């Protein structure tokens, strides 16, 4: 069965269907329906997302939010943990990849090894701005220390890491 979505693979190979068979953030426990969705609940029992056949990549931790008519899916790409991917949808079923949100830092930075779990929310102190908290690991410490980073955005599509001065 072909994938049920229009996600374009960034790797140029035919897509393979990967399914998230657990409720997505914002879904009702009783119906499995996403808030604001008009699709029958049977159509959102499975959220389908594609990846490249043979790429040995999988979706890691996710954060889903709804803003201005679009669902935004931010997720890790495993096993590398070297960027936080971003996809958008109008119905939370058919997803389209957009530019990745964040990448690991430059060599020597506090997050130059891996990026882990992220959480996106409106900035309560700056109207119209968004913030993403994420976990970063450094090569210098061989991933032994986890630090929390902050990235900011005006429209959820272009993210900038906030400078950090870590005192351990």
CB 146 within 8 A of CB 136: yes
pTM of the complete model: 0.68
CB 66 within 8 A of CB 50: no
Check whether 1 has a pLDDT greater than 90.
Answer: no
Q: Which residue has the higher pLDDT, 3 or 77?
A: 77
Check whether 112 has a pLDDT greater than 50.
Answer: yes
- The pLDDT of residue 40 is 43
CA distance 27 to 35: 6
Query: What average pLDDT does this structure show over 134-157?
Result: 95
Q: Which residue has the higher pLDDT, 164 or 49?
A: 164
Residue 53 pLDDT class (50, 70, 90 cuts): low
Q: Which residue has the higher pLDDT, 3 or 112?
A: 112
CA distance 133 to 123: 11
Query: Helix, strand or coil for residue 44?
Result: helix
Which residue's structure tokens are 């929390």? 148
Query: What average pLDDT does this structure show over 53-57?
Result: 69
- The pLDDT of residue 43 is 40
Could you tell me which residues are beta bridge partners of residue 74?
A: 63, 86
């Amino acid at each position: 069965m072909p994938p049920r979505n229009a996600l374009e693979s960034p790797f140029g190979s035919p897509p393979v269907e990967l399914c998230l068979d657990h409720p997505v953030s914002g879904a009702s426990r009783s119906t499995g329906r996403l808030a604001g969705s008009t699709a029958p609940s049977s159509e959102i029992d499975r959220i389908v997302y594609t990846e490249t056949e043979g790429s040995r990549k999988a979706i890691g931790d996710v954060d889903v939010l709804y803003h201005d008519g679009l669902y935004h899916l931010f997720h890790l790409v495993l096993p590398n943990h070297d960027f936080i991917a971003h996809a958008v949808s109008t119905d939370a079923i058919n997803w389209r990849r957009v530019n990745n949100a964040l990448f690991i830092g430059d060599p020597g930075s506090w997050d130059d090894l891996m990026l882990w779990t992220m959480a996106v929310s409106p900035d309560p102190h700056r109207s119209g701005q968004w913030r993403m908290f994420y976990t970063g690991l450094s090569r210098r410490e061989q991933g032994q220390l986890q630090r929390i980073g902050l990235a900011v955005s005006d429209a959820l599509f272009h993210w900038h890491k906030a400078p950090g001065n870590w005192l351990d």
